[in-house]
Chains A and B, each alone.
Chain A
Amino acid sequence: MPGPGFCGLSPLRVFPSVFVVAALLGLLPVLRSHGLQNTVTSKVSTMGLYIGPGEGDVTSAPPEVKQEVHPMTNHSGTPHMKTRKAFPVLGIDYPHVRTPFEVSLWILLACLMKLGFHVIPTISSIVPESCLLIVVGLLVGGLIKGVGESPPILESKIFFLFLLPPIILDAGYFLPLRPFTENLGTILIFAVVGTLWNAFFLGGLMYAVCLVGEPPINEIGLLDNLLFGSIISAVDPVAVLAVFEEIHINELLHILVFGESLLNDAVTVVLYHLFEEFAGIDHVTFFDIVLGFLSFFVVSLGGVFVGVVYGITAAFTSRFTSHIRVIEPLFVFLYSYMAYLSAELFHLSGIMALIASGVMMRPYVEANISHKSHTTIKYFLKMWSSISETLIFIFLGVSTVAGSHHWNWTFVISTLLFCLIARVLGVLGLTWFINKFRIVKLTPKDQFIIAYGGLRGAIAFSLGYLLDVTHFPMRELFLTAIITVIFFTVFVQGMTIRPLVDLLAVKKKQESKRSINEEIHTQFLDHLLTGIEDICGHYGHHHWKDKLNRFNKKYVKKCLIAGERSNEPQLIAFYHKMEMKQAIELVESGAMGKIPPAVSTVSMQNIHPKGLPSERILPALSKDKEEEIRKILRNNLQKTRQRLKSYNRHTLVADPFEEAWNQMLLRRQKVRQLEQKINNYLTVPAHKLDSPTMSRARIGSDPLAYEPKPDSENLPIITIDPASPQSPESVDLVNEELKGKDSVLEEEEDDDPGLMMHPKEPSSPGTDDVFTPGPGDSPSTQRMLRCLSDPGPRPEPGEGEPFIPKGQ
């Protein structure tokens, strides 16, 4: 079927299905009241509870849908009966828009559902979202069927070509590389040996069941059973992600289960194609089996190779995009997608290719692209993957209702049973083996979670759906069994895993922000361990990692990263990221007029004892002086703004207008706040500067600083930081290092040097924010003045998202 037709319906049958969606949406209030009044069945009542308020509370979104849908259905009914050409221009041409219309409608439905779940916090804390979505899918499918239509089925083509890649790319691009590489051996063993074991154990046992079974199933041969086993045995990344994201399990377990689900794709692909091929031919020779074994390496390594090639190409391309920032994110998406498609083209593992390309390109791309592009990439990936995930689960539900089923108790129940047994045995056996080599052993608790986290999902379903009915007459039986296993794992295991994690007191993920200290210590530890390995003459992990880093720094980075940043050590890059993030946070909190919750009051003078508090004098500002300061400030702010704006227009390629306008608003708001707060800003600086951080910190902590001149002149220098949301006594330390825009500007962005607040340069824009009442202050006494929370100089930080992705 060409094109992304979501449902395989003929045009004529489409209108009712559209109507059904409309009806469903219209039905929601009814459902809700139903659910609230009498608890019919538990499923329906939960449905009513979460959909109802979700739909109802979400202001105007649902009515819009109805408006969209109803006219269409109403009109669509009429023109067929009437004669044509009643109006020469106006007419209904639904087939013309059908596909995109339906696709959008489904996506809209998915989004609204997702929205609904998050409006009600109690439900989503008990039941995983994936379960709820499947239930929604079941209901939608049931409704469609109830109106006498055949509901759409999750087409394998759409699933593999459009729905799966975003999820995998998101996972690959934001893969926590460190734990992944540290546990790569374990993950590989689970993914390869574990999946093989599952497939053959299950296939073999199912064959035995079929042999002794009743007529309908005893025709299933060994190959068919093995094929079935290989389909059902692979842990599904989509399902695992959906559940594990919610339970916040510790990093090690998360990466073990999730990594396994990603890497077992190669095994699944090989086994699937192999058995499918074997089923078509008459007899399988030993040679075929050897070839099949070899093809495993070809598929997995080939996939990785394709991914790496595309990843490097993407990194190399991003080196030259500094003038066309707008399309930077597209390169990342397109190259990754191309990697996936190219791998699929040769029946290689597309998932491996996607992961490899994401992992490969990320460090270099991130160094090359702008901060904005990075945010765009992040948001797009997250958006796409979450929508894909939602759609996948909904369609899983719909397809369950839609597909024709062949329920056979013996087959289904034994499948489920053997699936669980195979998983448990596999994990136990493999951990016993792996623990011999691991330094950090896997405890029984870990093993339990790994076994229990082996969720099956839509990949298995789609693979089963792909089977050819002519070769596999038992396809429907297979699909039924697959769906049962999926539902069991997603519902039973997915719902109980959270209480079990709590019950077993499995270590959870520490929700700590990555701090500079941590980064320094981690790097220090890395070097230390490398050193110790060298001293005891052992060429271990750290040794090779160090070698690889050196190689990377020496050659690869030079080729793939443009300009200065190729020389930037990780620590500095990390520091810049932190600065940026904190600056953004500060601007945000400033704009919100709130002091951030984690207020701490440490400033540079606290840690650096050189400066003596005795130098401090308390300022005594009269009311009219205050008024004066305020006025000057306001004027200066506006002037700065204007100049920056015009400057932007000439130098920045990214569209500055919107940003400038927003910042103008922001600025105005801040000035207003300033007027309320100005009294709080009076304090005194203590000492001379040493480093940029210190100076920044001091200014951060003393937004309004009075410094007596060293000579006889008593005129103080007043520095005012108009936008700092803190009071002088309590300065958020986080914000303190907010060199933020300043240093970032200085050190990484060379394309807008004019925007920097240069220290020690009286004529620089930085002095705009300085109020110097005395005419006699010389440049030498001027301290480095930077407007800390001034969003002006930095056109970038529009978004308030932390720069560093959570997954790291």
Chain B
Amino acid sequence: MGSSQSMSEEVRELVSKTGFSSDQIEQLHRRFKQLSGNQLTIRTRRTQLTWMATRQSSWAFNHSSLQTDMFTSKENFNNIPDLELNPIRSKIIRAFFDNRNLRKAPNGLADEINFEDFLTIMSYFRPIETNMDEEQLEHCRKEKLRFLFHMYDSDSDGRITLEEYRNVVEELLSGNPHIEKESARSIADGAMMEAASVCVGQMQPDQVYEGITFDDFLKIWQGIDIETKMHVRFLNMETIALCH
């Protein structure tokens, strides 16, 4: 599956599995091949090389860059220049290898993903269809939120703990060198208290709110129409990103 030679049968299978059109799958497959360097999978390898090495390899894709990696991010994705500037880069890349998102295992990270896995992740970002009924909409909404939730909940324990939340905010603000950790933390603390008050309401002083569960997460997102926001256009992709 995901092989670059004979697609037609598999494409049909993928269409039914992920809901993408065959055009979109073709586009994404081209992109996938680009990212993986014509391999069948995009791999993760936790080699710990220096930042400089990544820089030197330049943005152009070559095999030497497969060897260079920041220590937590996944090598193939590191070749995307634009992603380099993204403050939550590591979380995004991690999400691609998250077994929960790949619907493979309740926790842990996959070592490599093939094209189907890639599509599975991408299908979280499909726009809603016009003919969806309420139930499907709700399902779609939940799926999208679950993906987000997994990004926040890095230790897969079903809760976004204060530490995890702080981590998220710190990463969000990491693009700015002038921000001290202190303010990031206080923002996370404030947000956490707000979340606790939204989700639990009255609390006794000795009661402990351990973290945001998925249900709480749904509650917090109630005001935002995630189904109309979390989507990407998959067609008309330009393939110049790598070859700059």
Q: Residues on A close to B: CB < 8 A?
A: 439-441, 443, 510, 512, 515-518, 520-525, 527-540, 542-543, 546, 550, 567, 569, 571-572, 575, 578-579, 600-609, 613, 616, 683, 686, 690-694, 697, 701, 728-730, 733-734, 736-737, 739, 743, 747
Once the chains bind, are A697 and B189 in contact (CB under 8 Å)? yes
User: How far apart are the CA atoms of A543 and B80 in the complex, in Å?
Assistant: 13
| B59 interface residue per 8 A CB criterion | no
User: How far apart are the CA atoms of A525 and B144 in the complex, in Å?
Assistant: 11
Give residues of chain B (157-206) contacting chain A, Cβ–Cβ below 8 Å: 162, 168-169, 172-173, 175-176, 178-179, 182-183, 185-187, 189-198, 200-206
Once the chains bind, are B205 and A538 in contact (CB under 8 Å)? no
Chain A residue nearest in CB terms to B147: A528
Once the chains bind, are A536 and B193 in contact (CB under 8 Å)? no
Once the chains bind, are B202 and A571 in contact (CB under 8 Å)? no
| B146 interface residue per 8 A CB criterion | no
Kindly provide the distance from the CB of B86 to the nearest chain A CB, expressed in whole angstroms. 5
| B55 interface residue per 8 A CB criterion | no
Given A524-B151, A535-B31, 15 more contacts at CB 8 Å? Answer: A515-B198, A525-B148, A529-B230, A537-B239, A537-B241, A538-B234, A540-B233, A550-B85, A601-B201, A601-B203, A602-B193, A602-B201, A616-B206, A733-B193, A737-B194
User: How far apart are the CA atoms of A613 and B203 in the complex, in Å?
Assistant: 14
Q: List 20 A-B contacts (CB under 8 A).
A: A510-B223, A515-B191, A516-B191, A516-B194, A520-B187, A521-B220, A521-B221, A527-B88, A528-B148, A529-B231, A530-B86, A533-B232, A537-B242, A571-B187, A600-B197, A600-B202, A602-B200, A609-B208, A613-B205, A737-B189
**B183 / chain A contacts, CB cutoff of 8 Å:** 572, 575, 747
**A600 / chain B contacts, CB cutoff of 8 Å:** 197, 201-203
Chain B residue nearest in CB terms to A578: B190
Total interface residues on B, using CB and 8 Å?
79
User: How far apart are the CA atoms of A697 and B238 in the complex, in Å?
Assistant: 50
Chain B residue nearest in CB terms to A737: B190
Which among A439, A523, A528, A730 is the interface contact of B202 at CB below 8 angstroms?
Answer: A730
Kindly provide the distance from the CB of B242 to the nearest chain A CB, expressed in whole angstroms. 7
| B1 interface residue per 8 A CB criterion | no
- Looking at the complex, which of B2-10, B43-51, B104-112, B122-130 is the stretch in contact with chain A? B122-130
The residue in B86, B186, B193 that gathers the most chain A C-beta atoms within 10 A of its C-beta is B193
User: How far apart are the CA atoms of A778 and B182 in the complex, in Å?
Assistant: 25
Once the chains bind, are A601 and B189 in contact (CB under 8 Å)? no
Chain A residue nearest in CB terms to B207: A606
| B224 interface residue per 8 A CB criterion | yes
| B87 interface residue per 8 A CB criterion | yes
Once the chains bind, are B182 and A537 in contact (CB under 8 Å)? no
| B53 interface residue per 8 A CB criterion | no
| B66 interface residue per 8 A CB criterion | no
**B186 / chain A contacts, CB cutoff of 8 Å:** 575, 691-694, 739, 743
Kindly provide the distance from the CB of A97 to the nearest chain B CB, expressed in whole angstroms. 53
Once the chains bind, are A536 and B234 in contact (CB under 8 Å)? yes
Chain A residue nearest in CB terms to B183: A572
| B209 interface residue per 8 A CB criterion | yes
User: How far apart are the CA atoms of A534 and B122 in the complex, in Å?
Assistant: 12
Kindly provide the distance from the CB of A597 to the nearest chain B CB, expressed in whole angstroms. 13
What's the dominant secondary structure at chain B's contact region? helix
User: How far apart are the CA atoms of A571 and B172 in the complex, in Å?
Assistant: 9
**A441 / chain B contacts, CB cutoff of 8 Å:** 130
Which among B89, B182, B187, B193 is the interface contact of A603 at CB below 8 angstroms?
Answer: B193
Chain B residue nearest in CB terms to A440: B228
User: How far apart are the CA atoms of A169 and B128 in the complex, in Å?
Assistant: 36
Kindly provide the distance from the CB of A454 to the nearest chain B CB, expressed in whole angstroms. 24
User: How far apart are the CA atoms of A572 and B185 in the complex, in Å?
Assistant: 11
| B60 interface residue per 8 A CB criterion | no
User: How far apart are the CA atoms of A572 and B169 in the complex, in Å?
Assistant: 10
Once the chains bind, are A569 and B175 in contact (CB under 8 Å)? yes
Which among B85, B187, B203, B221 is the interface contact of A602 at CB below 8 angstroms?
Answer: B203
Once the chains bind, are A531 and B88 in contact (CB under 8 Å)? yes
Once the chains bind, are A729 and B239 in contact (CB under 8 Å)? no
Once the chains bind, are A607 and B192 in contact (CB under 8 Å)? yes
Which among B77, B125, B196, B224 is the interface contact of A733 at CB below 8 angstroms?
Answer: B196
Give residues of chain B (113-139) contacting chain A, Cβ–Cβ below 8 Å: 122, 125, 127-128, 130
Kindly provide the distance from the CB of A576 to the nearest chain B CB, expressed in whole angstroms. 9
Once the chains bind, are B172 and A520 in contact (CB under 8 Å)? yes
Kindly provide the distance from the CB of B199 to the nearest chain A CB, expressed in whole angstroms. 9
